[in-house]
Amino acid sequence: MLKKRLPPLEPLIAFEAAARLLSFTRAGAELHLSQAAISQQIRSLEGSLQVKLFSRSHRAVQLTNEGREYLHTVAAILKQLAGATMDIQNVEFNQQLVLGCDQSFATQWLAPRIAQLRELLPAVALRIIASDDYGESLGAEVQAAVLHGDGHWPGFYAERLFAEEVFPVCSPDYAQQQPRQDWVSWLLQAQLIDLADSHWNWMNWRLWLGGNDIDEPLGNRHLQINSYPLVIDAACLGQGVALGWRYLVDDLISAGRLVRPLQQSLQTEFGYYFICREHLQDDPTIQRLKHWLLQAFEADSACALPALLD
C-alpha cells in the first residue's frame, strides 16, 4: 500500500523549502512556521526514511548526498501536484461537454471537423471519448454521443443522423492493377480486408455479399484487422478492398485516396445516431451540438455520392 511507503505531506513540504533555501529559519518564514517546527518536521522525515538528509552545523545546514538526490524527486512531484490542483480548481465543469463516439466516426468524420466544433462552442471545454466499447463511449460521464446502431439506447434520446450505406472501396492504384471483368468475379478475386470486430450489427463481407445475392465462397481473406480506421488505412495504402461507410469515407474519396471500384452498395436498417441523456435534451449546448450535426449531414446528403471509378 502506498500509505505505508509514503511519508506525510507536511514534512515533505518543509524539506523542500529547507533544502531549496538551505535554511530552517527562512523555510519557516516562507511556510509561516517557526524554525523549531521546521527542524522537528525534518527530524520526523529523516526518522521515517532512516536516512540523514541534512548535515547540520552551528550556523548552517547542507544537504547530504541522499538529501540532494531526494530533493530532485520531491521538488518535481510537489510542483506537479500543485499544478494539477490548480488545473482541477480552474476547470469550469458546468461548461464541459463530454462527447462519446466510436473509433470509426471519431477518426473518419469528427477529427477533421474538431476545429469547426470548437468554433461552434468556444466557451465549452470539449472532451471526446472515442471507443468501440459502449462502457466507455456511453460511460457515466458522457453527456452526448454519436454511435452506430438501431436507435434504441435505454435512458437516451436518439435521433438518426444518416442511414447506413456500405460499398467497396480501395486505393486508385489497387483498382487499376486488377484486371477488369464482371464485378462479382473481380471482387471475389480481390484481397478483401476484413473487420474482425465483436459488434454484431457491423457489416462484414459475408453480409454485404449476401445482401447483394452473392453466395459464392470468399477467396482472398488473408487480412483481418480489429479496428475500422486501420482497415481504411490499409485500403488507402493499396492492401486490398475494404467496406466503406457512406459519409465516413466520403472525404477520403474526394481527396483521391480511395475510389469506389464498383457501383453496388447495400443499405440496412441501421445508421449513425446522435444520442444524449434524456434529461439533457433541452440543454442549450446539447441542442447546438445536435443541430450542427444534423445540418452537416443534411448538407452532405444533398451532395451526390463521390464518383465511381471509370
pLDDT tens-digit profile, the chain (310 residues): 677 778 888 999 999 999 999 999 999 999 999 999 999 999 999 988 899 999 988 778 899 999 999 999 999 999 999 888 877 776 555 578 999 999 999 999 999 999 999 999 998 989 999 998 888 999 999 999 999 999 999 989 999 999 999 999 999 999 887 666 677 888 888 899 988 876 667 888 888 988 988 887 776 777 888 889 999 999 999 999 999 999 999 999 999 999 998 888 999 999 999 999 999 999 999 999 999 999 999 887 766 666 555 5
152 phi and psi, to 5 degrees? -115, 105
Query: Helices 9-21 & 35-49, crossing angle to 10 degrees?
Result: 110
The dihedral sign for the CA sequence 265, 304, 287, 244: positive
Does domain 95-310 bear CATH number 3.90.1170.10?
Answer: no
Give the H/E segment covering residue 224.
strand 220-225
DSSP E strands, 77-215: 96-101, 125-130, 144-149, 156-169, 191-195
CA dihedral 2, 49, 46, 8 (to 10 degrees): 10
- Numbered ranges of CATH 3.40.190.290 in the chain: 95-310
Please report the pLDDT score of residue 216 as a whole number. 78
CA dihedral 99, 100, 104, 108 (to 10 degrees): 0
- Numbered ranges of CATH 1.10.10.10 in the chain: 2-90
Please report the pLDDT score of residue 76 as a whole number. 92
Is residue 149 within 8 A of residue 201, CB to CB? The reply is yes
Residues 6+ apart with CB under 8 A from 214: 184, 188
Please report the pLDDT score of residue 115 as a whole number. 95
Which CATH number does the domain 2-90 belong to among 3.20.20.70, 1.10.10.10, 3.40.50.12780, 3.90.550.10?
A: 1.10.10.10
Q: Provide the whole-model pTM.
A: 0.71
Give the three cell numbers for residue 136. Answer: 466507455
Please report the pLDDT score of residue 304 as a whole number. 60
